[in-house]
Each structure stands twice: as C-alpha cells, then as structure tokens.
Amino acid sequence: MPSLFDTRPIDAPVAYAKVALEQGIDLAPDGLTYGVPAALNDLAIGERVTVPLGRGDKRVTGYVMEVTEQSDLPPAKLGRIKLILERDLSGISLTPDLVELAKWMASYYCCPLGMVFVTMLPAAVKHGTGSVKREMVGMAGEGSEFRVLSSELKTAESDSPTTRNSELGTRNSLPKLTKLQQSILAAALKQRDEGRAFTEIRELADLAGAKTISPVRQLIEKGVLITQTQAAVRAAPAIIDPSEETKNNGAPGLLLTPEQDAAIRHLAGQVHAGFSVSLLHGVTGSGKTEVYLCAIERLMAESSEFGVRSSELKDNNLPSAPRNRETPNSELRTRNSSSPAALILVPEIALTPQTVARFQRRFGDIAVLHSGLTPAQRHEQWRRIRRGEVNIVVGARSAIFAPLPPGSLGIIIVDEEHESSYKQDQLPRYHARDVAVKRGQLLNIPVLLGSATPSLESYLNAGGGQNEFRVPSSEFRVESHEGNGEGHELVPQLGTRNSELATPSVRPRYHLLRLPTRVPGLKLPKVEIVDLSDERRKRYEYTGKAGVHLVSLRLEAAIRSTMKDKQQTLLLLNRRGYANYISCPDHKCGWLLKCDHCDATMVFHKDAQLPTGGYMHCHHCTAKQLLPKTCPLCQKKVTIFGLGTQRVEEELERKFSGIRLARMDSDSMRTARDYAETLDQFRGGLIDVLVGTQMIAKGLDFPNVRLVGVISADTSLHMPDFRASERTFQLIAQVAGRAGRGSDPGTVVVQTFNPTDPAITLASKHDFDTFAAAELKMRAEMGLPPVTRMARIVVRDKDHVACYEYAKTLAAHLNQFNAEMKLGVRVRGPAACPIARIAEFHRLQIELIGKDAGTLQKLMTALRNARLLKSDNHVAVDVDPMALM
Ligand code: ADP
Ligand code: ZN
Ligand code: ZN
C-alpha cells in the first residue's frame, strides 16, 4: 500500500490482480497477472475490468480472480508488468462465490475460464440493454434541523400544516414550506422510515399528490432534500400475468400431509447445518412444490425469529463484496435483508405463468430469469438480484448464475432435477443441477433436488435403492489397460482433498425424502398398456383391412367417452412433423431419403400452403428440401412412413368430426406467448384434445384432464443411448402424472410394440424404486454411469482423414497417460458417432469411463496440459454427457 514515504513512481502498482480474460482461449488457467493502479486500490474480486493484452496492448475485458499485495512472478517480469486500465464503468461485478464456481466449472467441464464467464454474465447486462439514469431524491442528512421539523410534522398530522409550519418556522428559523412542499417532505420521510432512503423524483411527487416535480426541485434548492443519480434499467414487467388464478394455488394454511411435514422439518433442520443435498422423491401431484414453498417460508421465518442476519449464518470465508458503485447507499435496498434468499431452478417449459404466479402469490416481489425475457428485462432482473432487492429468484438453467449478494443465499432448489434441459449442449457443457450442488457446497448451504422420476445419478447419491441393490465392489470391475482388474468403489467420496477436482456429489451429505402418495383427494391414474402388434391383428380381424392407424381402437374409444363427458385428453408423441421416412416402395431398390449434409433421414412436414403439400426437413442441420414425388433411382412413387405429431392430428380429425384440437410442439409454438395462450385455451375448456411432444409431458396441472394417451412408448426406447430405458420410464411416468388432477383418477393408455419391457410395465405401475434398482444393477454390471463416470470427446472435421488422424492422436495420448498414471480409465474409440456426419462435418467419438470423476479429471488435465485439447470447432469435450448422438 502507498505511504507517505513511498518512493515508487506514480504508475507503480499498489497491488497485483489475476484477471481471467473474457475469451475462448486458455492463456493461463487462473488468469493473467496485472498491476493494480493506485486509482483502483479498492478493486475487489469479481469486478469486470479492462486490461491491455499483447504487443499492441489491445484492450480486452476480464474478471478479477484474485487481488494480492505481492506477486510470485520473478522480479524481471514484475518490472514490466502492465496495469489494469479501468474498471467496468457501469459497475458490473460478479460475486466471489461465482468466481470460485467459474474456476471449478472451467476445470471440471474442461472449458476455458473466459468462456465460463461469458456464460455467467448475460449479454444484455454486458451491453447495458435498456440502461437509463434515474434521478433519486432523499432526506438531506440525519441529525439536521429538518429531523426536528419532520418529527413535528409527523406528530401533528391533524394540525393545519400552515399553522404548524409557521410555528416551526419561527421556532427553528427554518425556511417556510408550502403545503405541497410539506407533503413531499412527509412522503420522503415515510419512504425513509420504510427503508427506502432514496426515491425516484417523479415517484416522490406522485406519492405526495403533486402534479409536477417542481416542488421537489424547490426542496432540493432549499437543501431539505438531496439528489443522487442511479443507473437503472427500463424494461417492461418481466412477469406477464401475475394475477392469473389457478385452482388450488397452495394457499398458506393448507393442511400438510405427514410426509410433507416430515420433509419440511428435515429441511428446516438442514438450514443451519451447512452444506447438504436432499433429494425429494415424490410422485406426480404429491405436493412437492408445496414443500419448496414451505421450506423457504420456514427458512425466512427462522432467521428473522433468531434475529440472525443471513450473512452470519454461514462461515464460508468468502471475501467481502465488492463495493457496488451503482448503489452507494446500501439503504437503497428494499429487500428485507435480514431474511435469506432462495434460488429456485425449474425447467424452461415449466416457467409458465402458473409456476411463477405460485411463487409470487406466496412471496410477493420475486425475480425471474428465463429465455422468454427481452434483453432489457433480463438486464433489469439481473441488476435487481445483484443489488439484493429480491429474496426469491425463479429461473431456468442459467439462473444458477444469479448474482445474489454474498451471504444472502440460504437455499437452492432444483425442481424436476432429472430434466435433460438442465444440461447445456454448448461450451461450457455444464449441468445446472450439478453446478447447483457445487454452488451450495461453496456457500455452505442446503440444496434441495425434487422429482417424481429422479435421475439415477441423484438417486444413487442419495442412497436410493440401497436395500434392494447392493453390488459388492469386487463384482464391478473397470477394465484397465494394465489388465490388473482392480475392484473399485461404487461411489467414490471425493471432494475434501482437492476441491478443484471434487465431484459435485459429496455423498455423506445426501438425504432421501419421499412423498409416496398423491395429496389427499387426488389418486394416481390407472395405466393400460396397448400391445400394438395385437392391435394390428385385431383390427384386421374386425375390419378386414390393415391400414396405418396411430390411434388404437382402445385409445379411440377412450377419447370418445372422454369427449362425451366433456372432459379433456392429452396425447403425447415425442416426434414432431408428419413422418420421418420417405423411401422407395420397392425393397429391392431400397432407396431412403437422407439429408445431403448429414447421415440422417429427413422428416416430412405437411404444409398446405405449398404446392407439393409439404417439405422435407433435417432436424440436425436444419436443411430443407421439397418432397420428391418419385424414387430418383427407379421412378416409383415414394412411400411416406413413420410417426409425427402432425400425422396424429390429421388422423384425429378424420376419426372425430368436430373435434377441437390443438398441437403443441416446437413447430407450432414459436414463442412463450403461443405456449401460454394455448394452455389458457385448454384450461378454459376450448380444446378437447391437446397433441404434443414432451412439451405437454411436464408440469401441467389441469383438473379436467381425464385421459392421457402415449402414441408410442417406443420412440425413446430404441435410441442408441444407455439411458434409453431411463428416459422412457421418465416420459411415461411424467405424462401419466398429468391425469387424475381432478376428482376422477383418470386413465392413461400407453401404446407400444414392447408391452413387456420393464421401463414400460414399471412406469405403468408408478413403481420407480423397482425400476431404478434393476436399472442400477444393470449399469453396475456394464460399468456405466452413474455407477461410473463418463466423458465424451467428439472430434469433427469436414475432411474425413484429418478427422480420423486427429481422433487417433488423441486416443493414443489418452491411452498413454492413462497407463502412465495408472488411472484405470476405459478409453473407447475413436469410433463413428451414432450420427456420423452432421452439416458436412464427419464426427468421431472417444468415450472415457472411469471409476470416479477425479480419475477422469486427471486424465483430461493431462491432455489439456499437453495442449492437445484445443477448444475450437474441431473438438468438443462433454463431461457427464446426457446426449450421446
Ligand atoms: P407436485 O409438485 O408434486 O406435482 P404440487 O405441489 O403441485 O405437487 O401439488 C399438487 C396440487 O395439490 C396442487 O394444486 C397443490 O396446491 C395441492 N396440494 C399440495 N399439498 C397439499 C395438501 N397437503 N393437501 C391438499 N392439497 C395439496
Ligand atoms: Zn442435415
Ligand atoms: Zn426405388
């Protein structure tokens, strides 16, 4: 630090900072060292700064990772150290726990640190979308004579203000105030007493019933009020329909079930116990959301009861918050800063007004973060969260990076934790649930995961299925390249030795909570399985015709009776478009239409506007082409086969005259508004049957739905992915959960060519535990996640040979490092990906399977250190991959 006798030149650094540059290359894993100029001597961790880079001193932005008085650089280098140029002018900064989280993510997900920061900070915040300057006014200082005046003003409310003013005026020789000025002063005092030291000038005038702001200006001139400019964001309200009422909104005072009560008590006990992860496994309609709401209420009530400030609840040793230059007066916060905040993640699609409204009704002012916001709204929400103005943040995947002020977060909740949309499919390929667990660990707070169909990862971590399923560790062996066949622990316990490499799951802190039945008054629906081969035979016997029918006789009858009783039906088919195959009818010819740019078939989409009646669409590279009429090889008329939601729609229109039908898939629902509108119509009873993809499988809660049909349970069952059964179970159980939310338990009809497959039969019985135990046993035998950990490296190149050469080099090094370090990782490949070419790029994959995350990390780090893992367009590293295509 500089002192009186400092002899250093003026531009000598007063401290040193490590800065992670906001770019996609790894210059240094922990950031580059810069000098801190005297003008920035209060620089804090997480601040966004501009620094010079390279020979030309190009101006680049980055984040402060660390500030130290000394640097460990050699003196020769220190002499030539460059100084930080400036801090972000609009005061953007991340919190210290987010900086720690970014470091962990960069290491765990093998991603340049700068890219992690790019993901963490919304572009709208960086660009300042919608920024305005607001003029704020507040009282001119405590203890002044105006304080006396103001207390008089308050006690003598009934007196005539003019008399009072003249009395006061003579007594204290204060400036005389007009009636309007007095009202403004009173309003400013009231605002201050309610914790708002500054109020926007216009708002204050309005509060006092003044038509213009000039009386406020006069008070400023008199020195009674002072002004301050505050950066603000102007945006339309982010919550579209806060008033929307739905049935059973879970008002406080609901009689909790004993299971709900037990879960809430458990969570209340975790609040002061530091980091823990609780998995709430509750069947659909068991009142999980109610548990979230009550747990948050309990958390808030407890800390205000004990008078504990939230920041004192944790001993996380995080450095203090950077000074927020935008809100110089911390009293500007309107949030009740004594109660801790909660962060709730929900899948994007569940962010309908229904979910948001439920949290809003319960907690008042909340912040939301999801893809439906405009950039200005996103910016505004981010600022409000950063300033600590809200206690509740509800958002989709990237909301896990919500910048809640240090010490404020008390719990993180991840709803529908099994949802694959929590995994980002671009760099950094993070899983928001796992990042949530890590953030909870860094902040030393509880994390709550909830689902009716937990991921096997979380279920295993929480000790689920342990009674039924226990594989002695000697039974499970990971082949190792030294061939020693050593046994491995099923679930390793990492995390304390080296936090950089810790797995997100620290098992001893996991708890399993169960809600095995629906809430009182609701019953789980009865599920019927329709064997489609049987159905074909029967139809032929009855009608003498084969024909293609996507809706079976049984499902048709069920829809008819549901319509007759003025009840509603949901039909799920997890494939959009009309049909997914166009081929030559002649088997000897065998022509099948494939995308010119990908190794994949194209999907036929009907479009009555087009002369050909539709077009072909590749769902992998988005290429489109016209529907060919004839086979290009033998000129026979083409056949269209396969399934799609459009085809179901068409068949229903043919079978039921006058049916009121809507289709919900990513083709028909372009915006969040389309989605909300269609759901409103459905709720209003204007639609008899809603056909859709997985969009309709989750979260919807409509009491009038008596029938749910699954057109094909087989679409996900035969995917070349070891999670195919798990996905099938989830999809059936989740969509079945949409039925029976009224007085009638409802019926579910599941159509399949595999009526005895356990994923289908057990989902029909709502028996997750048996399914999970059997599936985990199989995964253990095959050495697959979650019993092991996986990372996948995909190499892509337009040049097939270059692609293969590079993949081979990578695999050779991986095998070499693996052997040298005796890691026992299984290295599989290079082999063609299931889709071997997308958008002209050939694709080869290498799969790494290790006994635990730490082992995989060591191998990847070796590869990274050898500069073999370039994060460019040619290599994608996916740790804990969810999609294997
Ligand atoms: P989940 O999230 O498990 O699907 P919800 O929390 O949405 O379940 O609850 C389903 C419905 O039951 C909601 O309408 C909710 O208000 C209501 N509910 C929740 N808990 C109870 C309870 N203890 N008694 C009666 N109804 C309840
Ligand atoms: Zn394509
Ligand atoms: Zn042909």
Contacting residues for 684 by C-beta, under 8 A, at least 6 apart? none
Q: List, in sequence order, every beta strand (DSSP E) within 215-366.
A: 225-233, 276-282, 341-345
SS3 of 370-427? CCCCCHHHHHHHHHHHHCCCCCEEEECHHHHHCCCCCCCEEEEEEECCCCHHHECCCC
Q: Give distance in angstroms: CA of 381 to centre of ligand 1.
A: 29
Instruction: Answer yes or no: is the C-beta of 734 below 6 A from any ligand 1 atom.
Output: no
Q: What is the pLDDT of residues 250-291, one digit of tens each?
A: 455 678 999 999 999 999 988 888 999 999 999 988 999 999
Q: What is the pLDDT of residues 732-750, one digit of tens each?
A: 999 888 888 888 889 999 9
3-state secondary structure of 519: coil
The HSE-up count of residue 491 (CA atoms within 13 Å, CB side) is: 22
Q: What CA–CA distance (Å, rounded) separates 754 from 492?
A: 36
**Which token pair is 13?**
């650094």
Q: What CA–CA distance (Å, rounded) separates 20 from 116?
A: 10
Q: What CA–CA distance (Å, rounded) separates 740 from 730?
A: 18
Instruction: Answer yes or no: is the C-beta of 503 below 6 A from any ligand 1 atom.
Output: no
pLDDT at position 209 is: 87
Instruction: Answer yes or no: is the C-beta of 138 below 6 A from any ligand 1 atom.
Output: no
For residues 353 and 241, is the Cβ–Cβ distance under 8 A? yes
3-state secondary structure of 302: helix
pLDDT at position 393 is: 95
Q: What CA–CA distance (Å, rounded) separates 821 from 858?
A: 9
pLDDT at position 246 is: 42
Choice from 519, 524, 738 to test ligand 1 binding pocket (greatest atom count within 8 A of CB): 519
Atom 18, ligand 1: residue with shortest CA distance: 287
Instruction: Answer yes or no: is the C-beta of 416 below 6 A from any ligand 1 atom.
Output: no
Choice from 245, 247, 248 to test ligand 1 binding pocket (greatest atom count within 8 A of CB): 248
Give 193: exposed, middle or buried? Use CB within 10 Å, 0-12, 13-18, 19+: exposed
pLDDT at position 160 is: 46
**Per-position b or e across 532-554, b if 16+ CB within 10 A of its CB:** beebbeebeeeeeeeeebbbbeb
Scan for tokens 């342990």, then name that residue: 466
What are the C-alpha distances in Å from 440 to residues 163, 278, 314, 316, 455? 60, 12, 11, 11, 19
The neighbouring-strand residues paired with 692 are 572, 664
pLDDT at position 447 is: 96
The neighbouring-strand residues paired with 579 are 604
Model's pTM, two decimal places?
Answer: 0.82
Q: What is the pLDDT of residues 362-419, one digit of tens each?
A: 888 899 998 878 888 899 999 999 989 999 999 999 999 999 999 999 999 999 999 9
The DSSP element (H or E) to which 677 belongs, if any, is helix 672-683
CA dihedral 207, 387, 39, 7 (to 10 degrees): 130
Q: What CA–CA distance (Å, rounded) separates 663 from 573?
A: 11
The neighbouring-strand residues paired with 395 are 345, 369
Least Cα distance to 710 among 688, 728, 685, 687 occurs for 728
pLDDT at position 504 is: 35
Q: Give distance in angstroms: CA of 630 to centre of ligand 3.
A: 8
pLDDT at position 339 is: 72
Q: What CA–CA distance (Å, rounded) separates 215 from 574?
A: 63
Phi-psi category of 305—alpha, beta or left, where left has phi over 0 and alpha has psi -120 to 50?
alpha
Residues of the chain with pLDDT under 70: 1-10, 24-27, 141-175, 231-253, 303-338, 349-353, 465-508, 699, 870-872
